[in-house]
Structure 1
Amino acid sequence: MASHFKMASFKILLLSILLSSTHFFSVNSHEFEVGDDKGWLVPSSKDDDFYDQWASKQRFQVNDTVNFKYKEDSVLVVRGDEYEECHSTHPIFFSNNGDTTFTLDRPDLFYFISGVSGHCERGQKMIIKVLKPPKSPSPPPPPPASQNGTSEPSGHNGAVAKLGAHPITVPLLVMSVIMVAFFREFF
């Protein structure tokens, strides 16, 4: 009976480790509340660049979302020239439902304006710069060829090259070992 309990506990532990290790493979994104507690509204006359100041303090990445909270207003994504004119007849995106979430799906500049007449001119507009993802490290150069034309890792005399060239290698290896142990037990 105690052996059965130990095995069941071990299986639960393995499953817990497996499920908790998925964070190694998840894509991190962040949801930003536009204007923080103020939301999306016409700024005061002395603070007409409020939204651009707010956006410049953030670090937007691909797949982050911006959430606009407003009443009796709208939010449009427009081209740069339409942003300057505070007018668009064919916006890239339009919403007026009071709670709008927009996904920043690429590294670029995104131009937001209010669609209510006069609001953009009074400062209800914003430019968001989405940063390019960091470059992944370039792969190491291939090892030099030996006398017989085959490649051998330098300094290892033909031994297997070390793991760890990529930061995900160790978590992937650990997860694989856990999965093999888990599935052997059940199948």
Structure 2
Amino acid sequence: MSSSKKITLVTILVSFFMFSCVSSTELEVGGEDGWVVPNSNKTHGDVFNQWASHNRFKVGDTIRFKYKKDSVLVVSEDEYKQCKATKPQLYSNNQDTVFKLDRPGLFYFISGVSGHCEKGQKMIIKVMETESSPDSPPPSSSSSSSLPASTHKKSSASKTAVKFSSSVFVAFSVLVVSVMVWH
């Protein structure tokens, strides 16, 4: 194989490798305090929406709920407003729930413990649209959010992870490059 063909092949493999990486962030809901009933003295019970408004969420990010003797539910907008879930999309009470934000739009979370939601243990997260074409349909949610967008805060409660879309692809790329170098 000629030198220029090897360089072209390596360039293509490196490009595929770079595009197969997806960057995502995991944030701990509520920061160091976690998913708890807000103190009545704190910001009129809107602690979690204020926390969410200081972060910019994107598709692929995950959020971690840490709590004791509580639960977290993913609910509809109406269930969020009523602090009552009849058909939650997710119910978890394992004290350490990780939820993946898998689409753009609004996600509604409430505590499943009676009275906690009414005391402010609820949250709306807005996941930003990805780069889209002019033909892209609008978000599925009919309501607009007043949550301002900002950037991820760097703290002990967040970490960035790079995930590979396929370890087989990585192994194959290393094998091809190795074969080309030795020939």
TM-score between both structures, scaled by the size of structure 2: 0.64
Aligned with 2:78 (options 58, 81, 104): 81
Higher relative contact order (CA 8 A, sep 6+): 2
Corresponding residue number in structure 2 for 1:182: 178
Matched, 1:60 2:54: no
Aligned with 2:120 (options 123, 143, 147): 123
Q: Distance in 1 between matches of 2:49 and 2:64?
A: 15
Gaps of 5+ in 2: 1-12, 135-173
Q: Distance in 2 between matches of 1:113 and 1:57?
A: 19
In the TM superposition, what is the alpha-carbon distance from 1:179 to its structure 2 partner? Answer: 7.4
SS at 2:31's partner residue? coil
Q: 1:91 to 1:186 in 2, by over 3 A?
A: same
Q: Root-mean-square deviation (CA), in Å?
A: 2.6
Aligned-partner residue type, residue 37 of structure 1: E
Please state which structure has a larger fraction of its residues in strand: 2
Aligned-partner residue type, residue 32 of structure 2: D
Aligned with 1:28 (options 23, 30, 53): 23
TM-score between both structures, scaled by the size of structure 1: 0.63
Aligned-partner residue type, residue 26 of structure 2: E
Q: 1:69 to 1:186 in 2, by over 3 A?
A: same
Corresponding residue number in structure 2 for 1:113: 110
Higher alpha-carbon Rg: 1
SS at 2:128's partner residue? coil
Q: 1:67 to 1:183 in 2, by over 3 A?
A: same
Aligned-partner residue type, residue 85 of structure 2: S
Q: Distance in 2 between matches of 1:180 and 1:67?
A: 39
Corresponding residue number in structure 1 for 2:36: 41
Alignment of 1:86-101 (within 5 A): 86-101=83-98
Q: Distance in 2 between matches of 1:49 and 1:127?
A: 10
In the TM superposition, what is the alpha-carbon distance from 1:49 to its structure 2 partner? Answer: 0.3
Corresponding residue number in structure 2 for 1:140: none
